[in-house]
Structure 1
């Protein structure tokens, strides 16, 4: 079975080396497009409906004519048809605005194995540093052109943040608002446990990406005896939390083992939460 798959809307699976973007595709030229990355377990995409619903929301924010949910599900099925169900994978569904001169959107899907680094982060946790985005916590909610809550292809800032973290001998970044509130990580959602409640940052008033994995975790928190809620928090208050994690679709749940160089005591709840989410360690 292949270790990489590429499928194109309307064409199905193609050889992985097949060119599928024009030189003037606006997704490549300007990052004008959207995507979702879905965890693949036992050969099936976990939370696909939730990811496609979020993708539709991103498309609406960008005024992007996303194909129907039925067409996207069919594309995902085509991409996964030959995938080894014993291999943990990542399904990425991409939609760009297409050629610069106009025409249909470009839509394709890829499947690849989950990286060893992602699996290691589940087991060992991550060192995190904070970095300010420079704008107030409520700025994006009042400025739709900032595309708050949209998962776009414009990830240059996200990747630059992770490279900066690596230069600081850290694994990830927790973005802060200009007025000092915790927002999200470049590719993950902040979750913390305090006084028996699992918390995350509210997406609507802050403009952060609504995390599918974090949302599922909080919606099922009662099954393991926790309440759930959303609120704002500043980094200093995270020091008092029983546990702090970064949740994402492919990496799953990674415990924050240090924040800005200050080590945290390992949380006893990490394996319980990972088991609830169903991610292999």
Structure 2
């Protein structure tokens, strides 16, 4: 089967005892129209998604991605996805796409058509971009104010900051602003100068020999690939920690990485226009480990 590959899904309730989900999947011509005009995912971004990597036929971090999709559904008051159905859909899609190379598999759950009877769901597989350059040369990063103080997600849950929603306009605007400033990517800060995450990545720092990432919260997603990175580091005897990270700690860190499911780990080589220390040897080891996973 060639890429791109699209699979529409008829969502099954989370508490369903159904065993066979094959009849709920429908392969689609990826070049043909598939969404209706009234679809709220396109009109309002009213939906959630996850993107996992498939490397040489092996889907990565399935359970963390499904868990995060379910959490996003709860936050957004969408029907909670049936985990078994989504596992089956991912397995079916993986069986139908090329078994070599790096592929991005995005799965989406939308509220559907306004006043419609059911949500809309689909998987879409496409060839991953070639990230060789940034994996080996790193990225220049600027810090940008996210516009919220620390703790706002807990005080204002209607902002949906802990959900991975389709409303990515702000994230894309932040990356464009980074480009205007001569950088490649962004690290968001709270208004009181605490590190959050990148628009499409988790942030990991090395401080005094230990590895730190901002604590997952209502405003910061629990990174799936960041968790794999911490597994790798723990197995090699390094300390890892989730906690609040102040901006001055970022600036004095020994090294920093942006970590995401398809791009994997990339070193920060410049911060706000100034050179930043990078550990390319460790970055290479991390990416070799991440690419070699079979689950």
TM-score normalised over the length of structure 1? 0.94
Q: Deviations over 1:67-113 (max 9, x none)?
A: 31121122212222221111211100001000012211110001111
Deviation at 1:11, TM superposition (A): 3.8
Structure 1: 5+ residue stretches without partners: none
Q: List per-residue Cα deviations over 1:244-273 (Å, max 9, x = no partner).
A: 000000100010010000111321422232
Deviation, 1:12, is 2.5
Structure 2 residue aligned with 1:198: 211
Cα contact 2:25–2:89 (8 A) shared by 1 = no
- How many residues in Structure 1 have an aligned counterpart in Structure 2? 278
The aligned residue for residue 16 of structure 1 is 30
> Gaps (5+ residues) in structure 2?
10-23
Work out whether 1:99 is the aligned partner of 2:113. Answer: yes
2-structure distance, mates of 1:244, 1:165: 17
> Counterpart in 1 of 2:188?
175
The answer to whether 1:239 aligns with 2:239 is no
Contact kept? 1:12, 1:75, Cα under 8 Å: no
C-alpha distance in 1 between matches for 2:278 and 2:199:
23
Say if 1:7 and 1:78, in contact at 8 Å, map to a contact too: no
C-alpha distance after superposition, 1:103-125 (max 9, x if no partner): 11110001111102x33211111
Secondary structure of 1:272's counterpart equals helix
Aligned counterpart, 2:3: 3
Structure 1 residue 48: deviation in Å? 0.6
Contact 2:69 2:81 survives alignment (8 Å): no
In the alignment, the residues of structure 2 paired with residue 242 and residue 270 of structure 1 have an alpha-carbon distance, to the nearest angstrom, of: 13
Whether 1:65 and 2:79 are equivalent positions in the alignment is yes
Q: TM-score, normalised to structure 2's length?
A: 0.90
Give the Cα separation in 2 of the matches to 1:259 and 1:67.
Answer: 39
Query: Which residue does the alignment assign to 1:227?
Result: 239
Alignment of 1:1-281 (within 5 A): 1-9=1-9, 10-116=24-130, 118-204=131-217, 207-267=219-279, 268-278=281-291
Specify whether residues 253 and 98 from structure 1 end up closer, same or farther in structure 2 by C-alpha distance, changes over 3 A only.
same
Equivalent residues of 2:143, 2:272 under 8 A apart: yes
Any conservation in 1 of the 2:107–2:122 contact (CA below 8 Å)? yes
SS in 1 for 2:136: helix
2:117, 2:179 → 1: CA distance? Answer: 40
